Amino acid sequence: MLECIVTKFGGSSLANDEQFRKVRSILELEPSRRYLVPSAPGKRFAEDDKVTDLLYLCHSLASEGKSFRDQFLKIRDRYLSIAQGLHLEIDIAAHLDEVEQGIASGKGRDWCASRGEYLCALLMADYLGWRFVDAAEGIVFHDDGTLNPDKTSEKLAAVLSDRQPAVVPGFYGAKENGEICTFSRGGSDITGALVADAVHADVYENWTDVSGFLMADPRVIDSPAEISSITYKELRELSHMGASVLHEDAMFPVHRAGIPTNIRNTNKPYHPGTMISKNAPNELSVPTITGIAGRKGYSVISVEKSMMNSEVGFGRKVLQVLENYGISFEHMPTGIDSMCVVVQSEAFELHRVEILREIETLVENKGSVSVNDNLSIIATVGRGMVHNCGTAARLFKAMSRARINVRMIDQGSSELSIIVGVNDSDFESTIHAIYHEFVE
């Protein structure tokens, strides 16, 4: 029996009064769902506004001395219609007035943006009859605007210690001087994870508008299979390569605490979604691969130097050049007297000439430096690959059947993923070839 579940509902799950009703029935299905972290109301239809975007707009208009009345009216209407649709008693109009005055009086950008979650949580707490706990009382930021995880754990655990059902607005917290700070966009996921950690939840449920993760990007593969179970490490590999449902920083607190995260669909409450855990639960059979994700737009810097192999510290010096320009490298396959460093083209482009000049100085006329652009990197990820013979053979055979030239290969000893580099023009066909080899 689960004792305590923390739920987080995304913006589309809270876009109108009908969505609020769905949220309440989801909570009623399972009494262990005792904490709720809401985002701000999102889009009701494709061309609709997200409340957070409107708040940012109001703040920037106000700071330019322009009228933000029309934009604020849209925000006001949204909250009033939810309150009316649910017959709530809370005087949300008075809270909206305070927010409007705050924006007009020059409150900071983060304060303005955070009010979307704040107002939404007030409505939800009233609707459910639960306690409202302001995130500013439990989520602590350093003066530089980054999260203070230790203080947050301590304070959040203290304000939620009575274990009474509570609604805690997502996306923001406060510095010790009381100034409101927000996470980056999508940051309510982080608040949910922090609350789950603080109350030692059995599960962190993240309710959104999709039924979990898919094995590949649906823009590339038609109706890809769903992932029912994945580990945090696998997910980290996939999300680094572009697969995103959850804010990347939301994984750390729950992963560390060993709390599984369950991605669920508010519009399909009985669908089990995707379960993300530290170690996948006892599985009868593990699929060979869990998912495929990739990105275009990488460059490979190839460095050759005779006797590089015996020159201690050469690799470090090359990486130091990149570090000096604030560029992180993605992969670094090496040969005896050669090394390749894969970087994101966008960042590299800014200092391309200087970087190449400095690396050429290190080569000292004993070799060459060249760059190949338009590289895509595709990661095939799966805990089922460990100790499993033939996975790489199958993957490369599938690529060769599709006549795809492999430009780079990288596989760590953890055997969690096989990374291939191909021309950008082969990006889609590579994902098709691998997916159809392993999945269908």
| 109-136 as b/e: b if 16+ CB within 10 A | ebbbbbbbbbbbbbbbbbbbebebbbbb
Q: Which DSSP symbol is given to 94? A: H
User: Which residue, 134 or 304, has its beta carbon nearer to ligand ASP?
Assistant: 134
User: Which residue, 40 or 167, has its beta carbon nearer to ligand ASP?
Assistant: 40
User: Which residue, 52 or 229, has its beta carbon nearer to ligand ASP?
Assistant: 52
User: Which residue, 127 or 172, has its beta carbon nearer to ligand ASP?
Assistant: 172
Q: Is 41 among the residues that bind ligand ASP (CB under 6 A)?
A: no
Q: Is 23 among the residues that bind ligand ASP (CB under 6 A)?
A: no
- What is the closest distance, in whole angstroms, from the C-beta atom of residue 19 to ligand ASP in the complex? 14
Region 158-187 residues binding ligand ASP, contact defined as CB under 6 A = 170-171, 185-187
- What is the closest distance, in whole angstroms, from the C-beta atom of residue 213 to ligand ASP in the complex? 18
The strand order across the sheet containing 172-175 reads 140-141, 172-175, 180-182
Which residues lie closer than 8 Å to 10 by C-beta, 6 or more apart?
Answer: 39, 42, 188, 206, 207, 208, 209, 266
- What is the closest distance, in whole angstroms, from the C-beta atom of residue 114 to ligand ASP in the complex? 9
User: Which residue, 261 or 376, has its beta carbon nearer to ligand ASP?
Assistant: 261
* 204 beta partners: 6, 261
User: Which residue, 138 or 294, has its beta carbon nearer to ligand ASP?
Assistant: 138
Q: Is 11 among the residues that bind ligand ASP (CB under 6 A)?
A: yes
Which residues lie closer than 8 Å to 57 by C-beta, 6 or more apart?
Answer: 68, 71
Among 33, 34, 50, 264, binds ligand ASP (CB under 6 A): 50
Among 23, 37, 40, 181, binds ligand ASP (CB under 6 A): 40
Among 59, 75, 116, 305, binds ligand ASP (CB under 6 A): 116
Which residues lie closer than 8 Å to 414 by C-beta, 6 or more apart?
Answer: 233, 386
User: Which residue, 184 or 368, has its beta carbon nearer to ligand ASP?
Assistant: 184
Rounded alpha-carbon distances, angstroms, from residue 395 to 147, 265, 378, 391, 416: 41, 32, 12, 6, 14
Size of the site for ligand ASP (CB under 6 A): 13
- What is the closest distance, in whole angstroms, from the C-beta atom of residue 204 to ligand ASP in the complex? 14
Are the beta carbons of 342 and 377 closer than 8 angstroms? yes
User: Which residue, 250 or 340, has its beta carbon nearer to ligand ASP?
Assistant: 250
User: Which residue, 171 or 213, has its beta carbon nearer to ligand ASP?
Assistant: 171
The strand order across the sheet containing 338-344 reads 329-331, 338-344, 291-305, 367-381, 417-423, 408-410
Q: What Rg, from alpha-carbon coordinates, does the chain have? A: 25
CA–CA dist 381, 242 (Å, integer): 13
- What is the closest distance, in whole angstroms, from the C-beta atom of residue 52 to ligand ASP in the complex? 4
Q: Is 192 among the residues that bind ligand ASP (CB under 6 A)?
A: no
User: Which residue, 116 or 253, has its beta carbon nearer to ligand ASP?
Assistant: 116
CA–CA dist 94, 96 (Å, integer): 5
Q: Which DSSP symbol is given to 172? A: E
Rounded alpha-carbon distances, angstroms, from residue 155 to 195, 199, 283: 11, 11, 38
Region 369-408 residues binding ligand ASP, contact defined as CB under 6 A = none
- What is the closest distance, in whole angstroms, from the C-beta atom of residue 186 to ligand ASP in the complex? 5
What residue type is assigned to position 106 of the chain? G
Among 12, 52, 299, 380, binds ligand ASP (CB under 6 A): 52
Q: Which DSSP symbol is given to 221? A: S
- What is the closest distance, in whole angstroms, from the C-beta atom of residue 293 to ligand ASP in the complex? 22
Among 13, 188, 239, 391, binds ligand ASP (CB under 6 A): 188
Q: Is 260 among the residues that bind ligand ASP (CB under 6 A)?
A: no
Q: Is 39 among the residues that bind ligand ASP (CB under 6 A)?
A: yes
- What is the closest distance, in whole angstroms, from the C-beta atom of residue 326 to ligand ASP in the complex? 26
As given in the structure block, the two tokens for residue 353 are: 């000439």
Angle, helix 109-128 to helix 51-63, in steps of 10 degrees? 140
Q: Is 38 among the residues that bind ligand ASP (CB under 6 A)?
A: no
Binding site for ligand ASP (CB under 6 A): 11, 39-40, 50, 52, 116, 170-171, 185-189
